[in-house]
Amino acid sequence: MKQSDDWHLTDALHYDQGRGDPFAAAVRATRMPMVITDPAKFDNPIVFCNEAFQQLTGYDREEIIGRNCRFLQGPDTDEASISRVRVAIQSGHDVEADLLNYRKDRSTFWNALYLSPVRDESGIIRFFFASQMDVSERVLSQQAITDKKVMVEREVDRRTADLRAALEAKTLLLHEVDHRVKNNLTMIGSLLRLQVRTIDDPDVAAKLDSMLERVDALAVVHRQLYQSSDLARFDLGTFVHNLAIDVVGASGRTDIHLHLDTRQLYVDAAHASALGLILNEILTNAIKHAFDNGKSGHLSVVVDDQSSMGIISICDDGPGMPSTKRTRSIGTSLITRLARQARAEATWRDNAPGTCVTITFPRSETET
């Protein structure tokens, strides 16, 4: 059959079902809403729509044919999606878009539009073929999921803020406790100092002085605890650095040369007092026993953070440890007991000349 110049596929599609082209019949009968538009006509109007399209939109064929597809759009249709479709039509490309469309009764549905140009042999676009699908359920449930997600995220943010506030409150409280402990220790120190002044026996006075130094060392531990932003960890490296300066300074000795090779080294805050007291015993021993009778010398403090355990060595170049140790001294038994408590180990070795005391202890496993 010879086709006239203005022959159109749409004419074929207007044939009643079963009488024309079997593909045309299929397009008419399918449950998928479909339209064909004719770009050769003004404003690219719909020239064919199937039954399913009429059912989807609520319009009759007469109300559809001859109109541009935009009659399905409404105030809430997304402008960006519309312009994407417009650009695809202008440039002759396929396009997929989910559009909010309006039925005749103004109710809305989400339309999954798939539009593609149909070209003739010479490449000219003869039609645009558009299939549609009501995907309201999918889009609405996606929206519901997105809304839920936003709600959950908001709730998580709120709870995180609550937890952060609770943690800040706890930090403040703990700092307050450490502050008070430090103040009480300072007060105990002042009371002991008053007592020392009334004691004539130099031996007893010296013993009380040693006690005072221990109380002072504990006060320094608590001061550092409440000044730190870290609740779980205590920087023993910085502590021993400052304590060594304090102890040498308090001795009034300018002939003891202090060498510090220290760095930050963290232990669990729970072990701070015990380790702090041990270091105080070792440092005061060096001042008392290594440099007594005005003997000058060198005192070194080295913090080693290279191994899995923390190591601090305090070495002097005094006379070295006596072969027989005093058995009833408080210092040594304090070190033994506190070391057990802090899971630390103290070892003494000859420094030729002098003494080296090394304590090895677990480092804090808490990350900042």
Ligand X SMILES: Nc1ncnc2c1ncn2[C@@H]1O[C@H](COP(=O)(O)OP(=O)(O)OP(=O)(O)O)[C@@H](O)[C@H]1O
Let me know: does 235 contact 224? Beta carbons within 8 Å: yes
In the bound state with ligand X, the residue whose beta carbon lies nearer, of 169 and 330, is 330
Span interacting with ligand X, options 74-82, 233-241, 284-292, 358-366, rule CB under 6 A: 284-292
Strand partners, 46: 37
Per CB under 6 A, the list member of 131, 228, 273, 285 interacting with ligand X is: 285
Residue 328 binding result from Mg ion, ligand X, none, given CB thresholds of 5 to 8 Å by partner type: none
Q: Where are the alpha helices (DSSP H) in 19-135?
A: 22-29, 51-57, 61-64, 79-91
Residue 331 sits in the site that holds ligand X (CB under 6 A): yes
Nearest distance in Å: CB 321, ligand X: 5
Q: Are 289 and 318 in contact (CB under 8 A)?
A: yes
Partner in contact with 355, chosen from Mg ion, ligand X, none, beta carbon below 5 to 8 Å by kind: ligand X
In this complex, which beta carbon is closest to Mg ion, that of residue 69 or of residue 283? 283
* 326: contact with ligand X by CB under 6 A: yes
Instruction: Indicate whether 210 belongs to the interface with ligand X (CB under 6 A).
Output: yes
Of residues 305-334, those binding Mg ion (CB under 5 A): 331
Out of 67, 84, 289, 343, the residue judged to bind ligand X by CB under 6 A: 289
321 binds, among Mg ion, ligand X, none (CB under 5 to 8 A by kind): ligand X
Among 73, 273, 355, 364, the residue binding ligand X under the rule CB under 6 A is 355
Residues 6+ apart with CB under 8 A from 100: 74, 76, 77, 78, 108, 109, 110, 111
The alpha-carbon radius of gyration of the chain (Å, integer) is: 44
Stretch that binds ligand X, among 130-138, 258-266, 296-304, 311-319 (CB under 6 A): 311-319
| Cα 344 from Cα 14, distance rounded (Å) | 95
The answer to whether the CB of 361 falls within 8 A of the CB of 265 is no
Contact 315, 356 (CB under 8 A): yes
- From the list 62-70, 76-84, 126-134, 318-326, the region that binds ligand X by CB under 6 A is 318-326
DSSP 129: E
φ, ψ for residue 117, nearest 5 deg? -75, 145
Could you give the CA distance from residue 81 to residue 272 in angstroms, rounded to a whole number?
A: 64
Among 104, 288, 298, 363, binds ligand X (CB under 6 A): 288
Amino acid residing at 75: P
**Binding residue for Mg ion, selected from 280, 285, 313, 364, defined by CB under 5 A:** 285
CA angle 66, 67, 70 (to 5 degrees): 160
Residue 156 C-beta: closest distance to ligand X, Å = 55
Q: Which residues bind Mg ion (CB under 5 A)?
A: 285, 331
Please give the residue ranges that form the binding site for ligand X (CB under 6 A): 210, 281, 285-286, 288-290, 316, 318-319, 321-322, 325-326, 329-332, 355
